[in-house]
Amino acid sequence: MPDVETTPDIDLDAINAEAEAAEAAEQLREALRYHNYRYYVLDDPVVSDAEYDRLFQQLQRIEAAYPELETPDSPTHQVGGTVRDELGTAEHPTPMLSLKAVYDEDEVRNFDETCREELGRETVTYTAEPKFDGLAVELIYEDGRLVQGATRGDGETGEEITANVKTIKGVPLRLRDDERPVPDRLVVRGEAYMRKDEFNAFNRRREEEGKKVFANPRNAAAGSLRQLDSNITARRPLRIFFYEIAADGRDFDTHAAVLRVLPEWGLPVCTEHIRRCDNIDAALAHYEDLVVVRDDLPYEMDGLVIKVNDFAGHETLGVRDRDPRWAVAYKFPPRRATTSIEDIFVQVGRTGRITPVAVLAPVEVGGVEVTRASLHNQNEIDRKDIRIGDAVLIERAGDVIPQVVKVIEDERDGDEAPYHIPDTCPVCGAEVVLSDDKKQAFCTGGMTCPAQFRERLKHYASREATDIEGLGDKRAEQLIDAGLIQDISDLYEIEKDDLLALERYADKSAQNLLDEIEASLEQDLDRFLYALGIPLVGSATARLLAQHFASLDALMAADEATLTEIDDIGPEVAQSIAAFFADDDNRRVIDDLQDAGLALANPYAADEAPLEGLTFVFTGSLDDWTRSEVQRFVERHGANATSSVSGNTDYVVAGPGAGSKRDDAEALGVPVLDESDFHALLREKGIDA
């Protein structure tokens, strides 16, 4: 149990003196720092996102009411705010070196031989760690406070990006000193990167907004960190792994010791995939292991860095040109290949967006057969001069959709055919409009386009939306193909016999689906808004809307100007929401859903909080809920749901299989409820469950 209060129970309304506010702010800062550490360093959070957000917002409110209490290293300062005309420069205290790249086992063994010879040892101990594919950055801490961030630049001088690095999730503005004292000055280096899933979501959003998409997470990370406006950087999903202490603060004998200490100061290290290796064979074995798992890892790596473990060895081996002789980067096999474009077709998305896709002659890239590549838009096709029949270089980065890097023009024989997105939608025949910059194309068929509707229905039923589990992609297509649904509200008209007439439905499966469809009418407002598929409204924006509007009707009545007043909702999003609700077809669908019995609850509405002030911990399994359902349920009624038991916990609800949390509760004297006690408590609070 840490010394900090992990979920301080602060009543903002009760604060009316600056001293009280100061104390509350400090408690919140400590708690938030601790949760950042649990999340970004230990990868083991102990509170829900909702609880974290609540603490964060409380701190923001206190700092807004008492600006004199703000401190530069407050966790609320990780959200941007600095805009400049150009990036300054920063000299590195010691040069930022590069790494010699090697491509096969023989070269690695040569490296080992040189090290052994020059160090006069029979075997050399190494550390073997991923070579992360992002952007190298250097951070300087003085008295534990982050004072400077810089890019590598030419190795001697980099660009000063302090305001930007402060927005990276996982970069502590202040080092932890709970376990080990912090040196007066600490220079650390690491790699800023984007996770593959977060990069994909970010790129999808850019594509939807008609902005330039990034070819891979590395380019996106580099582009994001070199922004002049740190507010932009703050909105990018950047993360960091540290791998080095340079110069000051390096009071250790081995690299392995450094990697152990960095997390103690709150600096994230990729502990999971770093190995201390007794000899080069162990390092080579780690390489083989990483090659196998690398596609399944959440971030990109392009090789293994093998470093002599002891710093005495570094001294002896020294540096040649820019590369240390005590390390090599053993690169992974490339994931690029050449193939040819056999055809190009277009996909019609949920919002009518038309995306051209290349059909490739099948080719293996890094162990995966690739047959498609995204061409993004007409502008991209024109810029790269991509034609049907072209030989092309393609690149596959993790689970990112393969991209065409470039056309191999030398291989053209004159039979290649230029490509233009069609004037009419290949699915519904409606006109296609192309933006002036040719970066966006839309089918104007709207709800009448079966391709658009198909995607909308899949989205409506998806897990983050209304979560109709039995209506996966295949089932959704089957219902449309059978002519049972032409718009979302038709879902609620389906009868059992309709389903029984289809393939793969028996009495039970048909009834299950009907029950799930019926249940989806009782919905949280934010999920329903997301399910509607309003262009530019993802789940985060949907939540924001639910926080600001008590009901769907209130939101539908809001005009563009009102929407724009909400923080984090820009003019484009506001316009998109207003246009969506102004559309007759959309209004009709919502009316029909209301007639079918739509019952929306707003988890964020203040007047529905009978559990306000209570903190629950759930452990073991419950009959009526999954863990995340029950947490969401109590949060919706104003309570907190956390994952660790503390003095602040009001109830631990324990089902079969409950673990140590039940013991923690008993030790702390926190009441433990079983599922029926929990139901009784809910009834007592007037909640129907």
Binding test (CB under 6 A) with ligand IVH, winner from 129, 207, 455, 526: 129
98 is an interface residue for ligand IVH by CB under 6 A: yes
- Supply 476's token pair: 């959704």
In the complex, what is the shortest distance from the CB of residue 308 to ligand IVH, in angstroms, rounded to a whole number?
11
In the complex, what is the shortest distance from the CB of residue 304 to ligand IVH, in angstroms, rounded to a whole number?
9
In the complex, what is the shortest distance from the CB of residue 134 to ligand IVH, in angstroms, rounded to a whole number?
7
β 615-619/651-654 pair status: parallel
Measured from the CB atom, the residue of 97 and 186 that comes closer to ligand IVH is: 97
Convert residues 309-348 into a mask of x (bound to ligand IVH by CB under 6 A) and - (unbound). Answer: ---------------x--x-x-------------------
Confirm if 138 and 96 have CB atoms less than 8 A apart.
yes
Nearest to 459 by CA among 376, 351, 354: 351
Please provide the DSSP assignment of 277-325 as one string. ESSHHHHHHHHHHHHHHGGGSSS-EEEEEEEESBHHHHHHH-EETTEET
Confirm if 242 and 260 have CB atoms less than 8 A apart.
no
12-20, 126-134, 372-380, 665-673 -> range binding ligand IVH (CB under 6 A): 126-134
Whole-angstrom Cα distance, residue 520 to residue 460? 10
Please name the residue that has the structure tokens 């324990």: 654
Confirm if 182 and 132 have CB atoms less than 8 A apart.
no
Measure Cα distances from 338 to 212, 370, 373, 417, 493 in Å. Answer: 24, 11, 12, 19, 51
Whole-angstrom Cα distance, residue 518 to residue 328? 60
In the complex, what is the shortest distance from the CB of residue 258 to ligand IVH, in angstroms, rounded to a whole number?
11
In the complex, what is the shortest distance from the CB of residue 111 to ligand IVH, in angstroms, rounded to a whole number?
14
Measured from the CB atom, the residue of 99 and 240 that comes closer to ligand IVH is: 99
Measured from the CB atom, the residue of 217 and 324 that comes closer to ligand IVH is: 324
In the complex, what is the shortest distance from the CB of residue 363 to ligand IVH, in angstroms, rounded to a whole number?
28
- Supply 480's token pair: 């449309």
131-139, 341-349, 445-453, 536-544 -> range binding ligand IVH (CB under 6 A): 131-139
Convert residues 404-443 into a mask of x (bound to ligand IVH by CB under 6 A) and - (unbound). Answer: ----------------------------------------
53-61, 92-100, 523-531, 679-687 -> range binding ligand IVH (CB under 6 A): 92-100
Residue number of the CB closest to ligand IVH reads 136
587-646: contacts with ligand IVH (CB under 6 A): none
99 is an interface residue for ligand IVH by CB under 6 A: yes
Measured from the CB atom, the residue of 254 and 489 that comes closer to ligand IVH is: 254
275 is an interface residue for ligand IVH by CB under 6 A: no
> Quick one: CA torsion of 27, 32, 35, 40, rounded to 10 degrees?
-150
Measured from the CB atom, the residue of 134 and 655 that comes closer to ligand IVH is: 134
In the complex, what is the shortest distance from the CB of residue 298 to ligand IVH, in angstroms, rounded to a whole number?
16
Confirm if 423 and 431 have CB atoms less than 8 A apart.
yes
- DSSP assignment, residue 273? G
For the chain, how many residues are written?
A: 689
In the set 100, 131, 166, 661, the catalytic residue is 131
Measured from the CB atom, the residue of 56 and 243 that comes closer to ligand IVH is: 243
Nearest to 246 by CA among 192, 311, 193, 293: 311
Whole-angstrom Cα distance, residue 657 to residue 674? 12
244 is an interface residue for ligand IVH by CB under 6 A: yes
19-27, 62-70, 130-138, 421-429 -> range binding ligand IVH (CB under 6 A): 130-138
Convert residues 52-91 into a mask of x (bound to ligand IVH by CB under 6 A) and - (unbound). Answer: ----------------------------------------
Residues 6 or more apart in contact with residue 525 via CB below 8 angstroms? 545, 546, 549, 551, 552, 600, 601, 602, 603, 604
Measured from the CB atom, the residue of 78 and 151 that comes closer to ligand IVH is: 151
Which runs of consecutive H residues, i.e. helices, occur in 434-551? 450-461, 473-481, 496-500, 507-519, 525-531, 539-548
Nearest to 376 by CA among 203, 223, 221: 203
β 522-524/157-160 pair status: unpaired
How many residues interact with ligand IVH (rule CB under 6 A)? 15
- Supply 468's token pair: 């109709």
Measured from the CB atom, the residue of 45 and 303 that comes closer to ligand IVH is: 303
Confirm if 664 and 645 have CB atoms less than 8 A apart.
yes
243 is an interface residue for ligand IVH by CB under 6 A: yes
Measured from the CB atom, the residue of 241 and 528 that comes closer to ligand IVH is: 241
Measured from the CB atom, the residue of 93 and 597 that comes closer to ligand IVH is: 93
Residues 6 or more apart in contact with residue 104 via CB below 8 angstroms? none
131 is an interface residue for ligand IVH by CB under 6 A: yes
Residue 131 designated active-site: yes
Binding test (CB under 6 A) with ligand IVH, winner from 55, 188, 256, 305: 305
Measure Cα distances from 513 to 172, 282, 313, 471 in Å. Answer: 48, 53, 66, 7
Q: Where are the beta strands (DSSP E) in 629-668?
A: 640-642, 651-654
- Supply 539's token pair: 């789940």
- Supply 570's token pair: 């820009």
92 is an interface residue for ligand IVH by CB under 6 A: no
In the complex, what is the shortest distance from the CB of residue 283 to ligand IVH, in angstroms, rounded to a whole number?
13
Q: Which amino acid is at 579?
A: A
144-203: contacts with ligand IVH (CB under 6 A): 152, 191
The secondary structure element, H or E, covering residue 360 is strand 354-365
Contacts to ligand IVH by CB under 6 A: 97-99, 129, 131-132, 136, 152, 191, 243-244, 305, 324, 327, 329
Enzyme catalytic residues: 131
